Amino acid sequence: MEKIYASQTDACKLVRVKQETISFLMQYSRSLHVLGYQGFQFESNLN
């Protein structure tokens, strides 16, 4: 197990994100509402 995780790899690289993607995710997170009722969770997306 040690042999698998001991070596370091340069597999990770930074990725640039477009402003449109960030804007979309922020707007989606603002419109998403989660309501809990008697042990159930209801998700609604308000347009």
Residues belonging to the chain = 47
Residue 27 lies in domain = 2-45
Instruction: Identify the pLDDT of residue 10.
Output: 67
E-strand ranges in the chain read: 32-37, 40-45
pLDDT in tens, 6-17: 666 667 778 888
Cβ pair 43, 33 in contact under 8 A: yes
- All residue ranges of the chain with pLDDT < 70 are 1-10
Quote the pTM value. Answer: 0.50
What is the Cα gyration radius of the chain?
A: 20
End-to-end, the C-alpha distance of the chain in Å comes to 49
Number of separate domains in the chain: 1
Instruction: Identify the pLDDT of residue 2.
Output: 63
If one counts every other C-beta atom within 10 angstroms of the C-beta of residue 18, the result is 8
